Structures are given as structure tokens and as C-alpha cells.
Amino acid sequence: MSALLETIDRVRRDVCALHAELTRYELVVWTAGNVSARVPGYDLMVIKPSGVSYDDLTPDLMVVTDLYGTPVSSLSADADGAAAEWENPALSPSSDTAAHAYVYRHMPDVGGVVHTHSTYATAWAARGEAIPCVLTMMGDEFGGTIPVGPFALIGDDSIGRGIVETLQESHSPAVLMQNHGPFTIGKDARSAVKAAVMCEEVARTVHISRQLGEPLPIDPALIESLYDRYQNVYGR
């Protein structure tokens, strides 16, 4: 099997397995939400099919598309110059494919994108309110506030434009798309899933904190320091 086909195989298995993390952490219900990953070295991505139950997702149902969201099942030349062909399922890619594709085209360091409707983060999105950085965990993972992106209709690249415009100037790997829910990015799909899990966790904690009174802000210089340690030292 060619290196490209092996890579597609691996990315499909990873993307499929990561969808199980969305249900494990209760970030989605029914068929809501989606995970995608870039196929390293190629202008290709892998994303879940639209409207399929999480219990029925299998690696071979993950759809390979180009970075405009069009399903593709062959390349005339892989990295070695050889033609490659693979099977795509007879299913449409996720309704958010154009949004994910836009992110990959405009943020070359992003290798994974995730969308959930996790309850607390989506509640903040419904109010169009950014989550203030009042927890060390937020300084660590998000490097500041989790911002709100614009309202955008589903289906074309409007959501993608909102994600890129909002996150380009921020440390945060998460954006709360107004009236919709969180979208997260990462160097790979696993990191984007982690950001989605963390986003829900801090959305819940800050919400509860606000029921008790006004959460205490953290000095921006200390947030930078937390972010730097977590991103560059923690776990090394």
C-alpha cells in the first residue's frame, strides 16, 4: 500500500475514534457535532459523514475531501509521483465541511477542527458572551478569554470565516460561534478534541462561579505566564 493510502487509512481511524470522545465527554447529542483532520502533506482532509449516528461511525465511513470540501477519491500523483485511489462512502460529508476546509486553507498550522454543541459552552454562545479568563486552567489551555465569533449560517464557508477572523488574533483554540456553539482547532484532531473538552469544563465552572458572585479576574501578565508554562513546559 502506498504511503498516502496508509496515511489516509490512519487518519480515518483516528478521526473515527475521536468522535467517540465527543460522546464519552457528553459534548454532543444525537448526530450533532463533528471532527475533522488534515491529511498531512496533502491538500486533503477527513471528516465525518453528515447525519450518521455516532454508534454507526466506522473508519471507512469517514469522507476524504479536498480543502474546499469536495469529496475526492483519487490523486493523479502522490508524494512519490504515483497515482492513488481510495473508496469514499456514498454519503455526504458533514454539513460543516466547508467551515472546516476554510480553516485548513487559512490556518496552515491547524491539523484538526472540532465542533460540538456542549451544553455550557453553547449556553455562553447563545448569549453571545465571551468566557472571561478567571481560572488557571483557562490561562493554561486558552491563554485568555474564550472569544465569541459572529452569527453565521450553516452550509457554506461563513462559519469558517468567522472562526479564522476570531482566532487569528487570539491564543484561544476555541471560539463560541454566536447562537451556535463551540468550534475548536489544534495542531492535530486530538488537540482540537482536548480543547473542546476543556472549553466545556471551563464554561461550566465559570457559569457556576458566577451564580455565587463575581469571579476574580487574573492579571494578564500572569495569564501569559500560565500559558507559556503549560504550552512549553508542562508534560515535557
Ligand X SMILES: O=C(CO)[C@@H](O)[C@H](O)COP(=O)(O)O
Binding site for ligand X (CB under 6 A): 31-34, 48, 50-51, 94-96, 115, 117, 154
Burial of 24 (0-12, 13-18, 19+ CB in 10 A): exposed
Pick 52 or 137: Cβ nearer ligand X? 52
Q: Name residue, grid cell 482566532.
A: 167
In whole angstroms, the minimum distance from the beta carbon of 32 to ligand X comes to: 4
Shortest distance, position 226 Cβ to ligand X, whole Å: 31
Smaller CB distance to ligand X: residue 126 or 154?
154
- Whether 93 contacts 63, CB under 8 Å: yes
Least Å distance, CB 200 to ligand X, is: 14
Report the DSSP beta bridge partners of residue 46: 37, 64
d(CA 214, CA 174): 23
Q: Which helix (H) or strand (E) holds 204?
A: helix 189-212
Task: Tell the smallest beta-carbon distance from residue 221 to ligand X (Å).
Answer: 37
189-203: burial string, b at 16+ Cβ within 10 Å, e else: bbbbbbbbbbbbbbb
> Of 5 and 32, which has the nearer Cβ to ligand X?
32
Shortest distance, position 229 Cβ to ligand X, whole Å: 34
Q: Which is nearer to ligand X, 7 or 116 (CB)?
A: 116
How is 29-66 classified by DSSP, letter by letter? Answer: -TT--EEEEEETTTTEEEEPBTT--GGG--GGGSEEEE
Shorter beta-carbon distance to ligand X: residue 79 or 154: 154
